[in-house]
């Protein structure tokens, strides 16, 4: 039986009262600090039916996930030290009661890999690790029934099955489908994926930047309890646990700090540094071959495979007007050449709704502000499938946002079977087709006209540059 990690792994687990939408149990580490915990407690138990099924990492992860774990230096060193062999089954650590758990090194690796794959370093892996300590002591098979909600929290981050289903169907997180088999939430990578997706949703709750404290307390008690005194002890324990993580003690490399996902929020940093992480090789080749962009990138000393986004003073990535125009021209020429779409109109809409920020602005996602539900509808119902849209994150890719934005403009241009005027199309795009009033004054239309002048007056007008501001 393999036992790794710190002494906290060998202590008993005591759940705390859960009030919110995700689930909760106390951290083992909280026993080492002064805490304000209810006296009435119940013991959380794992699913006995599944307890014997997770003997090895191979039982609960896909082969590519296991390979990714072996690629993590800290994990590889830890596994080799205890006699594991690559190509053979890797044992899960087990506590004295026989329950499998992830070591802190393994937990950090799962969080890091998940964030890199699906959240483009927007989320802080250390937040995920600290919450995992509090919720389950990193035990993938742990379950806790919530008497108030009549739901059961599952796995490392204590996800409710209905929360995962909502994230899949309502928020577009479709990397895993757990509708027919909620037991999949016991698998570490699946559980952390949905936990991270929920954390990301909380960071921009009601389209407002939320603090780390709000996010953590809302995760514990629900959004209505995020400022209630009932979630304050959880926040205090979280800070203590996070500060005691091995990466904090030993200065291991990796993302740290809380980064809100709203790109318009002061001080936010989405770490979208390079074009190449947000576009396919084919699209990047088209950009390099575009006369204006090729000249612009060469002038700013960009390198193939490592083209920087422009950034404003708060390090928010954005497209220069030259880049915006090039993306529009490439998408329209490839996919909408027969639709009569005017490039200046598309670019001016982008300027108006997103100010050309890669991540979007306010409630608008991506450079053309297309939301996930609209893009998914265009993709599935109207057959626009040149680009995949598996989640809202895909719409922060300039070419993807441009493609579905233009597709929506094409649909609006013939709304209800009638040819529509540019003013109707622009208002309908920004406000919805049912909200158009061509007789009333529209501030958005005036802003659009001003943006339009940048793209129509002169081809040589200042288009910005690809430097870090």
Tens of pLDDT, residues 40-91: 233 343 343 444 478 999 999 999 999 999 999 999 999 999 999 999 999 9
Flag whether 21 is in a domain. Answer: yes
Same domain, 356 and 433: yes
Query: In this model, does residue 459 exceed pLDDT 60?
Result: no
Same domain, 241 and 290: no
Q: Hey, which residues does 311 pair with through a beta bridge?
A: 317, 468
Query: In this model, does residue 352 exceed pLDDT 90?
Result: no
Same domain, 176 and 135: yes
3-state secondary structure of 77: helix
Q: Which residues of 240-266 are buried (b: 16+ CB within 10 A; e: fewer)?
A: bbbebbbbeeeeeebbeebbbbbbbbe
Same domain, 90 and 212: yes
Same domain, 333 and 440: yes
Flag whether 255 is in a domain. Answer: no
Query: In this model, does residue 22 exceed pLDDT 90?
Result: no
Same domain, 208 and 280: no
Flag whether 464 is in a domain. Answer: no
Give the end of a domain, one of 250, 267, 300: 250
Residue ranges making up the domain that contains 135: 7-250
Same domain, 426 and 299: yes
CATH number assigned to the domain comprising residue 329: 1.10.530
Query: In this model, does residue 467 exceed pLDDT 50?
Result: no
Flag whether 129 is in a domain. Answer: yes
Same domain, 167 and 284: no
Flag whether 40 is in a domain. Answer: yes
Give the end of a domain, one of 209, 235, 250: 250
Please report, for the chain, how many H helices and E strands are present, in that order: 18, 9
What is residue 247's predicted lDDT score, i.e. its pLDDT? 67
What is residue 361's predicted lDDT score, i.e. its pLDDT? 82
Same domain, 150 and 194: yes
What is residue 444's predicted lDDT score, i.e. its pLDDT? 66
Mean pLDDT for all residues in the chain: 80
Same domain, 389 and 282: yes
Flag whether 414 is in a domain. Answer: yes
CATH number assigned to the domain comprising residue 137: 1.10.530.10
Contact 220, 18 (CB under 8 A): yes
Same domain, 32 and 180: yes
Query: In this model, does residue 120 exceed pLDDT 90?
Result: no
For 267-313, write each residue's pLDDT tens digit: 333 344 789 989 999 999 999 999 999 999 999 899 999 899 988 77
Flag whether 358 is in a domain. Answer: yes
Same domain, 144 and 289: no
Task: Say how many domains are in the chain.
Answer: 2
Q: Which residues of 410-434 are buried (b: 16+ CB within 10 A; e: fewer)?
A: bbbbeeeeeebeeebbbbbbbeeee
Flag whether 465 is in a domain. Answer: no
| 287 compared with 249, residue with greater pLDDT | 287
Give the end of a domain, one of 215, 250, 285: 250
């Amino acid at each position: 039986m393999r036992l790794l990690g710190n002494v906290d792994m060998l202590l008993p687990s005591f759940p705390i009262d859960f009030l919110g939408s995700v689930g909760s149990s106390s951290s083992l580490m909280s026993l080492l600090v002064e805490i304000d915990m209810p006296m009435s407690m119940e013991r959380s138990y794992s699913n006995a039916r599944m307890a014997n099924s997770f003997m090895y990492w191979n039982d609960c992860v896909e082969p590519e996930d296991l390979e990714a774990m072996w690629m993590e230096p800290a994990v590889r060193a830890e596994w080799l030290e205890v006699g594991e062999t690559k190509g053979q089954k890797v044992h899960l650590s087990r506590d004295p009661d026989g329950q499998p758990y992830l070591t802190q090194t393994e937990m950090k690796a799962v969080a890091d890999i998940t964030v890199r794959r699906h959240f483009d370093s927007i989320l802080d892996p250390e937040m995920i690790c600290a919450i995992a300590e509090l919720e389950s002591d990193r035990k993938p098979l742990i379950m806790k029934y919530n008497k108030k909600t009549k739901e059961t929290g599952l796995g490392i981050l204590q996800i409710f099955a209905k929360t995962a289903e909502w994230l899949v169907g309502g928020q577009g997180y479709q990397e895993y489908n757990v509708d027919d088999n909620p037991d999949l939430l016991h698998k570490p990578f699946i559980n952390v994926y949905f936990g991270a997706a929920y954390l990301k949703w909380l960071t921009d709750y009601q389209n407002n930047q939320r603090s780390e404290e709000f996010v953590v307390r809302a995760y514990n008690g629900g959004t209505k309890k995020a400022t209630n005194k009932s979630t304050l002890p959880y926040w205090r324990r979280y800070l203590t646990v996070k500060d005691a993580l091995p990466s904090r003690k030993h200065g291991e490399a990796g993302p740290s700090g809380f980064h809100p996902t709203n790109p318009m929020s002061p001080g936010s940093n989405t770490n979208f540094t390079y074009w190449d992480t947000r576009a396919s090789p084919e699209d990047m080749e088209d950009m390099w071959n575009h006369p204006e962009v090729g000249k612009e990138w060469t002038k700013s000393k960009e390198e193939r495979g490592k083209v920087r986004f422009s950034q404003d003073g708060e390090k928010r990535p954005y497209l220069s007007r030259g880049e915006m125009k090039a993306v529009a021209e490439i998408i329209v020429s490839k996919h909408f050449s027969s639709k009569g779409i005017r490039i200046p109109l598309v670019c001016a809409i982008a300027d108006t709704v997103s100010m050309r920020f890669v991540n979007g602005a306010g409630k608008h996602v991506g450079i053309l502000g297309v939301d996930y539900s609209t893009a998914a509808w265009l993709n599935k119902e109207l057959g626009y499938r040149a680009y995949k849209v598996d989640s809202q994150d895909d719409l922060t890719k300039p070419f993807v946002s441009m493609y579905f934005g233009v597709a929506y403009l094409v649909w609006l241009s013939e709304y209800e079977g009638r040819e529509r005027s540019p003013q109707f199309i622009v208002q309908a795009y920004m406000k919805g087709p049912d909200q158009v009033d061509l007789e009333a004054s529209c501030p958005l239309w005036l802003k659009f006209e001003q943006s339009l002048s940048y793209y129509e007056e002169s081809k040589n007008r200042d288009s910005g540059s690809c430097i870090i501001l």
